[in-house]
Amino acid sequence: MKRATLEGLAPDGGLYVPSEVPRFSEEELGLLESGSFNNVAFAIAKKFAGEEIPLDILSRLIDECFTFETPLKELSADTFVEELFHGPTLAFKDYGARFLARMTGFFAAEDQKMITVLVATSGDTGSAVAYGFHGIPNTRVVLLYPSGKVSRLQEQQLTTAGDNVFALEVKGDFDDCQRLVKQAFVDSDMKQKLTLTSANSINISRLIPQSFYYAWASLQLRKRFPGKLPLFSVPSGNYGNLTAGVMAKMMGFPIGHFIAASNANDSVTRYLEEGRFEPKPTVTTMTTAMDVGNPSNFARLRHFFDGDFRRMGVEISGAAVSDAETLEAIRSVYNSCGYVMDPHTAVGYRALERYRQENPGQEYPGVVLSTAHPVKFDDAIMTAIGKEVPIPVEMTEIMEKKKNATLIGNGYEELARFLSNLDQQ
């Protein structure tokens, strides 16, 4: 785990995967049913960490990470929203970023190294990493985000942390940002100058903690719906979130099926239908965090299913949801339940609806992962329901800070120059 955390990408440019996914016995699951979220998180983390982190330190780090709730909100008798936006940046990325920051800080201090964390973000990853790593000793963070393609609140979050956090505004889309990060990791000259790692979901230590909330929710629902395994509908962009869910099921947690809910960037949906993975240029939609034409974590999914799209299709159904359907889902849920969901959550909700329409007669609980607070997408909420979402008190101060970002092109030379001069920043 240590090497994969500190390196991010494998030496050949590929993604690290666990040599073996640990399995929980039925007895262990029974004991965890009555435990807290942090109990579940610790039980999973210690199986992956092995002897690399003393258990008392790991337990303390877990408690430092997850100081917020992970509620399951009931929309109807068999439909739930798992709210993953109660962390400091109001997005599900807080789970992975806070865990990864503390693992990186621990390992870096152990080796007496300065780690440079290089991250491509389509919005919430950047802000979560900025706040997760802010002030962590032996680390500094460089965030790359696509100019004009993140919400104002997201941009304020990822460009105002300061101190050991640097923001680069890239003239391009998320795929350009991701390409630049990958080029840096395979640049031998850069490797000699800096110790680079990533905090994207390509880093396995950001992916592992995302399995915690699948495990937690599945155990809560098992108590309520004995013998009925839940469906998880997952808003999907770079497919790290879905991959973490698959890992949770491989560990033995009681999960029935996954729905990969995408927007117009539907390369995985088409793969599940046709067996051919043919990425297309990124399409801009209102669900900006899911605007990924060539998702990097798809390589891990294919690995777990031995490259067999039919096997993957048994576990995962795909659904592409349009912007018009997204707005209608926000509107209909608000009108029927009084519940306001952000556009990404609405994509997951509409995908679950469609799955149930196409598979009638199944009486299993459905869980939509709610990946961001609706205030982050206030324009879409206003369009859908004609109401503003109040800004949480903790976000007001951030909105008043001055943006601090360096504008660069989408060629690698400018990024390489910035990284080479990082010690002078």
Write the DSSP string, 345-362: HHHHHHHHHHHHHHSTT-
Each residue's pLDDT tens digit, 376-415 = 888 899 999 999 888 888 788 888 899 999 999 999 999 9
- What pLDDT is recorded for position 191? 78
143 has pLDDT over 90: yes
pLDDT of residue 339: 96
pLDDT of residue 145: 93
3-state helix, strand, coil in the chain (%, to 5): 50, 15, 35
Q: Output the pLDDT for position 361.
A: 82
Residue range(s) in the chain whose domain bears CATH number 3.40.50.1100: 2-19+93-203+401-424, 69-90+207-385
Q: Mean pLDDT, to the nearest integer, of 203-229?
A: 95
What is the predicted pLDDT for the residue at 425?
65
Average pLDDT over residues 9-25: 87
Phi, psi at residue 371, to the nearest 5°?
-90, -15
Lowest mean pLDDT segment, chosen from 55-59, 179-183, 337-341, 396-400: 396-400
Over range 154-168, report the average pLDDT: 90
Average pLDDT, the chain: 92
69 token code pair: 């709730």
Least confident window among 6-15, 42-51, 279-288, 301-310: 6-15
Backbone angles phi, psi at 259, to 5 degrees: -120, 120
Mean pLDDT within 156-161: 89
Contact call for residues 265 and 247 (beta carbons, < 8 A)? no
Instruction: Provide CB contacts within 8 A for 365, sequence distance 6+.
Output: 78, 79, 80, 221, 224, 225, 228, 230, 231
* Fold assignment, 2-19+93-203+401-424: Rossmann fold (3.40.50)
Show the tokens assigned to 7. 């390196």
- Judged against a pLDDT cut of 80, whether residue 110 lies above it is answered with yes
pLDDT at 367: 98
Q: Return the pLDDT at 158.
A: 85
Question: Which of the following is catalytic: 93, 149, 182, 376?
Answer: 93
Residues 233-259: tens digit of each pLDDT? 999 998 999 999 999 999 999 999 999
Look at residues 156, 75, 179 and name the one whose alpha carbon lies nearest to residue 409. Answer: 179
Asked if pLDDT for residue 422 goes beyond 90, the answer is no
Across 331-346, average pLDDT: 97
Annotated catalytic, 193? no
Select the CATH number that applies to the domain covering 69-90+207-385 from these four: 3.40.50.1100, 1.20.1730.10, 3.90.1010.10, 1.10.3720.10.
Answer: 3.40.50.1100
Q: How far is 318 from 325, CA to CA, in rounded Å?
A: 16
Q: Is the Cβ–Cβ distance between 235 and 290 less than 8 Å?
A: yes
- What's the pLDDT score for residue 395? 81
The predicted model gives 84-90 an average pLDDT of 93
